[in-house]
Structure 1
Amino acid sequence: MAIADKTKSAGKPKKKPSSRNNLSVLAKAIIANAGVGIYIVQHGKFVYVSELYQKITGYTDSELIGTDSLINIYPEDREKVRNQAIKCLKRESFEPYEYRFVKRNYEIMYILETVAPIIYQGKRATLGSFMDITERKIMEEKYSSILENIQEGYFEVDLAGNFTFFNDSVCRVLGYSREELMGINNRQYTKDKESAKKVFQAYSQVYKTGEPLKEFGWHITRKDGARRYIEGSISLLKDSSGKPIGFRGISHDVTERKNSEEALRQSEEKYRSILENIQEAYFEVDLNGNFTFFNDSLCRITGCSREELIGANHRQFSDKENAKKVFLAFNKVYRIGDPTEGFDWLIIRKDGTKRYIESSVSLRKDSGDKPVGFKGVIRDITERKQIERELNHMATHDALTGLPNRLMFSQLLNHAIMSAQRNKKQLAVLFIDLDRFKIINDSLGHEAGDQMLKEIAGRFRHLLRAVDVVGRLGGDEFIILIEEVNELNQVATLAHKILATTLKPAVIMGEECRVTASIGISIYPRDGQDEQSLMKNADIAMYFAKEEGKNNYQFYSDNIQSMANERLSIETNLRRALERNELFLNYQAKLDFKTGAITGVEALLRWNNPYLGSVTPTQLIPVAEETGLIVPIGRWVMKTACAQNVAWQQQGLPPVCMAVNLSLRQLMDDNLLSDIQTALKESGLRPNLLELEITESMVMHNPTRMIPVLTKIKETGVRLAIDDFGTGYSSLAQIKHFPINTLKVDRSFIRNLPQDSENKAITEAVIIMGKNLSLTVVAEGVETKEEENFLRQQVCDEMQGFYFSKPIDPDKFADLLRNHKASPKTH
């Protein structure tokens, strides 16, 4: 969090301005796509905060503008941030720095921030950009805890060999402090040419082959000038795109072992003394593998006493696989005569526990140079192996559910494809997306969402065979691999089971929660012969399962691909529809039953594209919703409709209430209230002549959050209507809690009135309830004289539909409004 200069503004407090109005369109576009939170501070107070800044921190524009920019910084970090801001203004430092920030919900997050001095509205200011690095900090602390509790040194270097990360064991071995070692090059402690060359060759080999190099040794020179012998393993370090960025490795100081081995060759007495004082276990066996000599470390590793070990065979501590591994190593040493170093194997201790050990073995000869057995040094590397397994697991598995992640699943799928190809078998990929999961996250929080994901993951595991694989791709997306598919009914049966098990309720944080699943299925080799094609086509099929109402499964087909291509074309062209002026509005009148006057009008979005032709709302709206384009499009609709209403009045036409539909994304957008006020202010339309229509399912998406939003909108004087009433999740009793003015009876209940008895009963009940709640009741979709007469008899307030007027362009609507003669019998 950057701070501006210490100059304080004088004069009376002013009303907080909207920071967005002070930025150019280009600046807004850049900031919106920056991917980081942006703010500007002037005289120590916020004058601008971006939408992403608000989203990350939880604070709104109105809560921050004009306030002290230090107020939400963790108290212990404020001085650090203040000093960094001063350096920035003095142009002394622009380096990124970290600090802690207290979010709106009182959670503490870690921030990585960069600041720079700017001129804003003619005055000095500080521009800051920051991102939330909380998850990274948590992971770093976890890694640090693991790495600092092992004896071996863990290190990471860049491609030039400069240290970028290491644990305390590395500092201890090299004799440098952490501050001295950070950024130091490996050539500084490999001063002899032979070791420097050896290290360079090792790094080069790993870089060229991409394969890890296990257990090679080299000399290092400590800070105090002492020489130490190090053994280690090195692997390539890559970024998220797979590009090499450096190396990482595990090392251990084996100087004592090397010295011990040298001493063994010089003196038997000295050699025995040293053996009992080293950490590694030393052993000697005869040619049959029976122990003839060892030190106490071997007793400690095996869990046996000296009496139990003497004469015992090494095979007693191994299973068949590892006994064979040791036999082959001994046999190689016997045949070739050269020692073998760095081979590891698994032993079984006396108490039954298993430990990983690493060994170096050489041939033992008598004075006549005749082989009489073997000698070697072993060390317990169980903890190191565990860390390697954990690091590998973290790289290939989802941290929350423990399921294979996208990387691991892709590898498993590739192996399965090769197997299916060899055996001429089919396999299936099921792409699963959870429906309504976002409701749990929004209403109960991410902890509840995480619990639900773990519950669903467990259910999926329980359904599958041992040979099948379920993975998590991220968010609420899962993926399943089914091998050896004999017929499609086998896959369909499993899909039915997945739908059923997903639908079962789960008690999360004391609440009963339900989700459903949309499943897309691709079959090898019919729908693709490689991993990428199968996953892509399963994803496409999943999307159309959602389009079919969710809670179902769809097999990929050519027809689905064709629809996907059509949808992609719609999405591509829709992104430019606004700037190309391809969108326009038609208007459908609302008629008052009592007076016969036109009292309202609904703005309806239309799109005519030069390539696609006329695109229907049922094609347009879902794409706009999913891509997020519905927010800018909805903003344009509101402004255009308000301006058109005022234009009609300026022509001398009577004022009518303009109805505009809101989407769920708009309703959840933090800028909605500001957009409404801007549309009214720019057009000059009176608030009571604007009515915003929402569906009841939108409100029931999260009533706790939505009702306060609607209340704030209504407080501006704008009217609110529930559209498509009766088709959503709310009950008649719940409607009284909604801050609305109007109920619109869905067209599906108006159809075939009064002949359809069910529709008749529902419509009568809605009209009566609306009257009792003092709401205006509008019947939409009226198409026949019989429907109009029935609604008039039920004292419905207004009607809308083709029977009176179809949606028409602004000029035709002006003519309709100008020529219409109000009469109770008018239709």
Structure 2
Amino acid sequence: MNKLLLKRFFLIIIFALCFILNIRIYVNADVVNTDISMNSSKKVLVLHSYSENFKWINNISKGINSVLDNDSEKIDLSYVYMDMKKVKDKSYIDALYNLHKIKYNDIKFDAIICSDNDALNYIIKYGDDLFPNTPIVFCGVNNFDKSLLNGHKNYTGIVETIDIESTIKGIFKLQPNVKNIILVCDSTATGKLNEERAKTITKILKSSANFYFCTDTNIKNLQNILSNLGNNTAILHIGQLKNSDGTFINYEKVGSLLWKNINATNYICWDFPLGQGLLGGKVINSFEQGKIAAEITLRVLNGEKIDTIPIVKEIPSTYTFDFNELAKFKINKKNIPADSIIINKPFSFYEKYKDFVLTMISIISVLLIFIIILAVNINRRRLSEKKLIENYSELSAVYEELTATEEELRAQYDELQQGGEFLRIIEERYKLALEGSNDAIWEWDIEKNKFFASDKWKNIAGYGFNEDGSLKDILENLLSHEDKEPFVNSLLSHLDGTTPFYKCEFKTRDKHGNERWLYIRGKALRNKDGRAFKMAGSISNITLRKIVEEKNKYLAYYDSLTSLPNRTLLMDKLNEALKAASKNSEKGAVFFIDLDNFKRVNDTLGHDYGDKLLQALAIAINNIVETNTTVYRMGGDEFSILMRDADYREDIIKTCNNIIDICKKPFKIDGKQIFSSVSIGVSLYPDDGIDSSLLLKNADTAMYKAKDLGKNRYEFFDKNMFDEVLKKTKIEKGLRDALENNELELYYQPQIDCKTTKIQGIEALLRWKSNDFGFVSPADFIPIAEETSLIIPIGEWIFKTACTQGKEWLDKGYNLGVIAVNVSTVQLQHIDFLNTVKNALEESKLPPELLEIEITESVLMQYLDYNIDILNKLRQLGINVALDDFGTGYSSLSYLRVLPINNLKIDKSFIDSIHSNCKNESVVYGIIELAHKMNLNVVAEGVEWQEQFDILRSMNCERVQGYLFSKPIPADKIEDLNALMTSDNN
């Protein structure tokens, strides 16, 4: 029987092993049936846009070779590298054309593979001449537009579309705390297309982070930008960096340079630079680009018509990351997107030998199953044997039971001997429990009315109990008057059986008079009748816990930075006030206060200065309010005030003026003077509402109205404000689309030389003709652009457009002087302002001395030291700086001496009455004389009458500007005006 079982067992094992091995062989079989039928050698030309040393190109070549080199005797591959990263001007392309014309004059290619945009553009332009009727397969082409192939046949290929959006979202997933993302771009054809796509994507994602574009930048500039942005900054490379000499840095080298010089995560959208210090991203596989292009070429060589092969527009990209970079920046593995590829990962035995491990596990599992089956059979036999043994054991048990009875009697005797020792041990344990516990242990003999407490009570209270005293006497000394009733009620509830345990919290004082919070618990012992005859328990010192609870309660209702009540407490108090107002016909006011330009304090001086400014303002406001008024901090730079019993509007106005007066003097913080102002909105109850949220919303609306009217003022809520808010919202929405819809335009107003009456300067002025609203006044949309920071992209467009127009006039031979551009404080404080100006000059090639920056006194005085530093850097570049609207702001000679300016522009308000008001004439004459002594040129604005011009010319004013000569006009009208004025002078 046993031999038969063993024989069956081994036959089953052999059958299972053979079955598993057959499955593994079937799964791992790689059936390839590729039949390339070519009767003769085929010639294929591979035209690369860049150098063979460029790893992207190298990988594409490897992909091509993996398909076409399998039968090298039948396919003759030729490679040409255009090297367009280094040079791409017209003369170079013409030279390439002439070379290819000679070199391939007698060679007929069966197909041409071209990689990247430059090679495709070259073939589109010259292919019909150089390689007529030759099928063209392209790959690695960015932002492909089908219109490129209009009029061209025999073209197909693979589009290279880098997944910028998925890479940015991958950054957010890997680094949830990232605040800033720098996008590195270049000016190559591919780079410009990638930059345009990136800007479109970042507009959608701008609420998640701040995006900064750096085109044709170098490591040093990147370091400067990164130092200004600080931590929580990532860098996405969608173009190449440059060396200090202006040449591009190869992607293969950029990783090691960034690793040495840039302490930030660096992301990429291509696979070939990985492993060199770049973290990774949603990357395109260059090898796959070449491989697919070669497979398409093979189909063409096998006779398939190229016109029937569709263009491959999407190749799946994959998240790929460098394990070393993930470890360097401590990226949480949970944040890595699913199905990501990790390179440079340490060796894993399981992953490398996965098939082998799974095979062995399968074999072992089968063996275990059969072992279990065998063990079950063996166990059945053992059970039968066990029953026989049990019958024998039952007989033996009778004898053993008799023996055990004798031993049990002897054991009971020994136990009685040990009883005394056990009682002694229990007493020692009780003593240790009393001494080792932090709580005081107490006992109350109810029948004898005696109370006992352990020595730990002295540690808590500093004194002991009189052991002969009754519980009533002890409670008289221990409890305060307000705690006696809940203490006794809780005790009686337990004694009568209502509660299973006794517990109570109460206050007392220790030996030194310090307040202590105690927590007493206990349980009664009862007789057979259920009557309590004894109680015992513990007393804990919970003073620290109560202090923490009070602190948490304080933090829930008070602001930790300013110690003012917070929004939560305001809502509670406002609801109480509204109930009282409804009941007693009371009136009140809700103030909403916002600190103007607070963000710039944080951006320029740091958050420490911002916090201290908020603390100083909170103290100052709290010191001037009346007893019926409470100041609250809402969060950020926003405060609120609740004024109860506000029967007189004059009291509310007085409070607003007092708050505004606080900000008229600068705040002195750590040796720095910080100028600020506040905008205040006021809503009244019950006039403006009886709902707390509505009152706050109305006050907030009034506050924004105060900001729109120039800030540093107060406004009472009016229902008409909702219409203004709606109008402002519509303008803001329209303004966001104005650049893309080409609705913005620059008008130009000439500045006339007083001596020659020729144009010697032009001011660029922004105009907006909306598709929805028609012509929108600059007074309406420019403040909104500044408030929403839309002035940053709009200002960049203004600089580029104005500089390009200036260069165009210069190339035509017009000597029109400087192009003047107005700059707001938002632009001046922006981190990339200098680069914006530099880029505009570099792209347009306008000489710096022909650009003039105009800045008003009010803008300049905000963060004076910082602004002077920026202006000095502009002057170092050769750019002119003019002080605009002089006389309407601070007009202080003390700062005028140190400002790095060339020109002074006198405000129109002084010019209006210069010909009819002697005082104004004297003031203007004094300003001109002062400017000349400081080597400054003077421009007078708003000249509308000949008499005004004659007076200014007699005062030796250099230039004038106004409707006397021309209103702001489009660029094409300037040339006509210049021709007219030149002919008049002649």
TM-score with structure 2 setting the length: 0.58
**Pairing 1:688–2:849 present:** yes
- 1:18 deviation in Å? 9.7
Structure 2 counterparts to residues 656-667 of structure 1, below 5 A? 656-667=817-828
Equivalent in 417, 426, 429 of residue 590 of structure 2: 429
Equivalent in 564, 570, 579 of residue 740 of structure 2: 579
**1:27: which partner in 2?**
198
**1:641: which partner in 2?**
802
Mapped to 1, the partners of 2:183 and 2:474 lie a distance apart of 82
**1:339: which partner in 2?**
500
Q: Which is richer in helix?
A: 2
Equivalent in 448, 459, 462 of residue 303 of structure 1: 462
- 1:806 deviation in Å? 0.8
Structure 2 counterparts to residues 224-303 of structure 1, below 5 A? 274-285=433-444, 292-303=451-462
- 1:779 deviation in Å? 0.2
**Pairing 1:540–2:701 present:** yes
Equivalent in 230, 235, 250 of residue 56 of structure 1: 230
Identity %: 34
- 1:500 deviation in Å? 3.8
Structure 2 counterparts to residues 471-510 of structure 1, below 5 A? 471-503=632-664, 506-510=667-671
Q: How many residues align?
A: 648
Structure 2 counterparts to residues 671-820 of structure 1, below 5 A? 671-820=832-981
Mapped to 2, the partners of 1:518 and 1:589 lie a distance apart of 37
**1:223: which partner in 2?**
none
**Pairing 1:521–2:695 present:** no
- 1:595 deviation in Å? 0.6
- 1:343 deviation in Å? 4.5
Letter of the structure 2 residue corresponding to residue 534 of structure 1: L
Mapped to 1, the partners of 2:260 and 2:553 lie a distance apart of 41
Mapped to 1, the partners of 2:859 and 2:759 lie a distance apart of 28
Deviations 1:454-508 (A, max 9, x none): 2222233334456643222233321112234334334333323333445466543
SS at match of 1:279: coil
SS at match of 2:982: coil
SS at match of 2:738: coil
The 1:513–1:423 alpha-carbon spacing in structure 2 relative to 1, beyond 3 Å, is: same
**2:781: which partner in 1?**
620
Deviations 1:156-202 (A, max 9, x none): xxxxxxxxxxxxxxxxxxxxxxxxxxxxxxxxxxxxxxxxxxxxxxx
Q: Which is richer in strand?
A: 1
Query: Comparing 468-477 with 361-370, which one deviates more in the overlay?
Result: 361-370
Structure 2 counterparts to residues 140-155 of structure 1, below 5 A? none
Deviations 1:487-542 (A, max 9, x none): 43343333233334454665432456554432111123332333332222212211
Mapped to 1, the partners of 2:196 and 2:476 lie a distance apart of 77
SS at match of 2:512: coil
Q: Is the 8 A contact 2:490 2:503 kept in 1?
A: no
SS at match of 2:854: strand
**1:317: which partner in 2?**
478
Q: Is the 8 A contact 2:219 2:261 kept in 1?
A: no
Mapped to 1, the partners of 2:243 and 2:451 lie a distance apart of 78
Letter of the structure 1 residue corresponding to residue 465 of structure 2: R
Query: Comparing 408-417 with 50-59, which one deviates more in the overlay?
Result: 50-59
The 1:782–1:59 alpha-carbon spacing in structure 2 relative to 1, beyond 3 Å, is: farther
- 1:592 deviation in Å? 0.6
Query: Comparing 342-351 with 735-744, which one deviates more in the overlay?
Result: 342-351
Letter of the structure 1 residue corresponding to residue 687 of structure 2: R
The 1:273–1:669 alpha-carbon spacing in structure 2 relative to 1, beyond 3 Å, is: closer
Letter of the structure 1 residue corresponding to residue 974 of structure 2: F
**2:830: which partner in 1?**
669
Mapped to 2, the partners of 1:689 and 1:116 lie a distance apart of 52
**2:124: which partner in 1?**
none
Q: Is the 8 A contact 1:39 1:46 kept in 2?
A: no
SS at match of 1:805: coil
Deviations 1:258-297 (A, max 9, x none): xxxxx99x99997676344422223345779987111222
Structure 2 counterparts to residues 564-575 of structure 1, below 5 A? 564-575=725-736
Letter of the structure 1 residue corresponding to residue 630 of structure 2: V
- 1:304 deviation in Å? 1.9
Q: Is the 8 A contact 1:94 1:114 kept in 2?
A: no
Letter of the structure 2 residue corresponding to residue 26 of structure 1: R
Q: Is the 8 A contact 1:700 1:730 kept in 2?
A: no
Letter of the structure 1 residue corresponding to residue 861 of structure 2: M
- 1:89 deviation in Å? 8.2
The 1:113–1:600 alpha-carbon spacing in structure 2 relative to 1, beyond 3 Å, is: farther
Equivalent in 461, 464, 488 of residue 622 of structure 2: 461
**1:121: which partner in 2?**
none
SS at match of 1:637: helix
Deviations 1:714-766 (A, max 9, x none): 23232221111122235234323222221111111111013334422321122
**1:231: which partner in 2?**
none
The 1:310–1:629 alpha-carbon spacing in structure 2 relative to 1, beyond 3 Å, is: farther
**Pairing 1:327–2:488 present:** yes
The 1:52–1:617 alpha-carbon spacing in structure 2 relative to 1, beyond 3 Å, is: farther
SS at match of 2:463: coil
Structure 2 counterparts to residues 392-431 of structure 1, below 5 A? 392-431=553-592
Mapped to 2, the partners of 1:295 and 1:72 lie a distance apart of 66
Mapped to 2, the partners of 1:569 and 1:86 lie a distance apart of 41
Mapped to 2, the partners of 1:64 and 1:419 lie a distance apart of 72
SS at match of 1:558: coil
Q: Which has the larger radius of gyration?
A: 2
SS at match of 1:820: helix
Q: Is the 8 A contact 1:46 1:69 kept in 2?
A: no
- 1:114 deviation in Å? 11
TM-score with structure 1 setting the length: 0.69
Q: Is the 8 A contact 1:46 1:64 kept in 2?
A: no
